[in-house]
Amino acid sequence: MTKVRAPDFDLKKTLESGQVFHWERDGARFFGAIGDRAALVEQRGELLLTNGDETVIRNYFALDHRLREICASFPKDDAMNAAQQFCRGLRIIRQPKWECLATFICSSMKQVVHIRQISHALRERFGERRKINTRVVYTFPSADRIAASSEKELRQCALGYRAKNLLATARRVAHGGVDLEQLSILSDADLRSRLCELPGVGAKVANCVMLFGYERLRAFPIDVWIERVLRAKYFSRARKLNAGRLRAFTERYFGDQGGYAQQYLFHHARMTKTKARGKGKRGRFVTLSPVK
DNA sequence: CTCCAGGGATGAT
DNA sequence: ATCATCCATGGA
């Protein structure tokens, strides 16, 4: 058992905020894998690690991010203030690049609970089995392993049409000349366009991979949740609002720590959704104006 | 610009 | 027990 001091960190919020999908909670304990290593982590003031390497944990949970400075840099508005208060201690973690890319390819058109099932199915079928404290966890399968599978096998993991995309991208990463580590040297714009060349990767998935796998803290993924928040809180009177305008706004308004701002707004919106729900059959936010 | 694929949980009736 | 809704990429 290793103890790690972790101020300004909330393990539960971090692992349950929709940035990573394989951790399983049992009370206050989280079972999972960090790269190829099984991990059991619990927060009781300090972090308590079983089979944990302090250096690995500090890096994975980004305990070196200067969270107070990041939060202090957020724009001061009602939505951001509420999200910031709600998400205290939530950190953007550093995920292995392939695992992050593959998982977010599987995330398209899926909800969090579903993405977790897919992640688990892929791990159980193609990953490596590890035991920790009588529990079994699985590592995420390598690109080589996925590339060696078939679309049919992937579909059996409930991937649907994503199976073809995941297989094609795995092949490019395994032996198709795409070196995910090497992409780290690129600028944000170049990295984004290279990621978007991969099958199953559009702007939203690319931004997730940049943020969670490449530590590009400016990246601002816009999914339906965030779009609802932006429309309701920052564009309540806007008539025409397309993807380009939204992107321009988020880049300018949220700036260098936009990824953190996005994650806080996202998690806060999701966790308070029942209150925000309207009674009408079609509206989640009654204040929203129709788009097109 | 619009429409659709594919699918399992979730919520509404 | 049905029925509608959630979800984002890529192609038509």
pLDDT tens per residue across span A205-244: 999 999 999 999 999 999 988 988 998 899 887 767 888 8
Q: What is the pLDDT of residues A234-286, one digit of tens each?
A: 988 776 788 888 899 999 999 999 999 999 999 998 888 743 333 332 333 33
Among all protein residues, pick the one whose CA is nearest to the C1' atom of B1.
Answer: A292
CA A259 to C1' C9, in angstroms, rounded, equals: 21
Tell me which residue of A187, A196, A276 sits closest to A231, measured CA to CA: A276
Would the Cβ of A252 be found within 7 angstroms of any atom in strand B? no
pLDDT the model gives residue A196: 94
Looking across all nucleic acid strands, the nucleotide with the smallest C1' to CA distance from residue A156 is B7
Give the mean pLDDT of A117-139: 94
Three-state DSSP state, A87: coil
Q: What is the pLDDT of residues A12-33, one digit of tens each?
A: 999 999 999 999 999 999 999 9
CB A63 within 8 A of CB A55: no
Give the mean pLDDT of A64-92: 96
Would the Cβ of A276 be found within 7 angstroms of any atom in strand B? no
CA A3 to C1' C6, in angstroms, rounded, equals: 41
- Report d(CA A55, CA A175) in Å as an integer: 31
pLDDT the model gives residue A288: 31
Contacts of A139 (CB under 8 A, 6+ apart): A33, A35, A36, A37, A38, A123, A127, A128, A130
CA A169 to C1' B5, in angstroms, rounded, equals: 19
pLDDT the model gives residue A237: 77
Q: Pick the residue with more confidence: A274 or A80? A: A80
Tell me which residue of A231, A199, A224, A196 sits closest to A210, measured CA to CA: A196
Would the Cβ of A73 be found within 7 angstroms of any atom in strand B? no
Would the Cβ of A240 be found within 7 angstroms of any atom in strand B? no
pLDDT the model gives residue A240: 74
Tell me which residue of A257, A21, A43 sits closest to A140, measured CA to CA: A21
Q: What is the pLDDT of residues A153-196, one digit of tens each?
A: 998 898 988 999 999 999 999 999 999 999 999 999 999 999 99
Structure tokens at A64: 């070196």
CA A281 to C1' C1, in angstroms, rounded, equals: 21
C-alpha distances in Å from residue A275, one per residue of A1, A65, A168, A279, A280:
41, 32, 41, 11, 13
For residue A234, count other CB atoms closer than 10 A to its CB: 17
Mean pLDDT for all residues in chain A? 89
pLDDT the model gives residue A79: 93
CA A234 to C1' C11, in angstroms, rounded, equals: 33
Would the Cβ of A270 be found within 7 angstroms of any atom in strand B? no
Nucleotides of B under 7 A from a protein CB: 1-2, 5-10, 12-13
CA A272 to C1' C4, in angstroms, rounded, equals: 22
pLDDT the model gives residue A277: 35
CA A185 to C1' B9, in angstroms, rounded, equals: 40
Looking across all nucleic acid strands, the nucleotide with the smallest C1' to CA distance from residue A223 is C8
Looking across all nucleic acid strands, the nucleotide with the smallest C1' to CA distance from residue A270 is C6
Helices (H), chain A: 11-15, 54-60, 67-72, 78-86, 97-107, 112-126, 143-147, 151-155, 162-175, 188-196, 203-213, 224-234, 243-254, 258-271, 273-276
Give the mean pLDDT of A192-201: 94
pLDDT the model gives residue A284: 34
Three-state DSSP state, A131: strand
Three-state DSSP state, A137: strand
Give long-range contacts, CB 8 A cutoff, 24+ apart: A214-218. A214/A97, A214/A183, A214/A184, A215/A62, A215/A92, A215/A94, A216/A188, A216/A191, A216/A259, A217/A70, A217/A92, A217/A256, A217/A257, A217/A258, A217/A259, A217/A260, A218/A188, A218/A251, A218/A255, A218/A256, A218/A257, A218/A258, A218/A259
- Report d(CA A112, CA A96) in Å as an integer: 19
Q: What is the pLDDT of residues A24-76, one digit of tens each?
A: 999 999 999 999 999 999 999 999 999 889 999 999 999 999 999 999 999 99
pLDDT the model gives residue A281: 29
Looking across all nucleic acid strands, the nucleotide with the smallest C1' to CA distance from residue A274 is B11
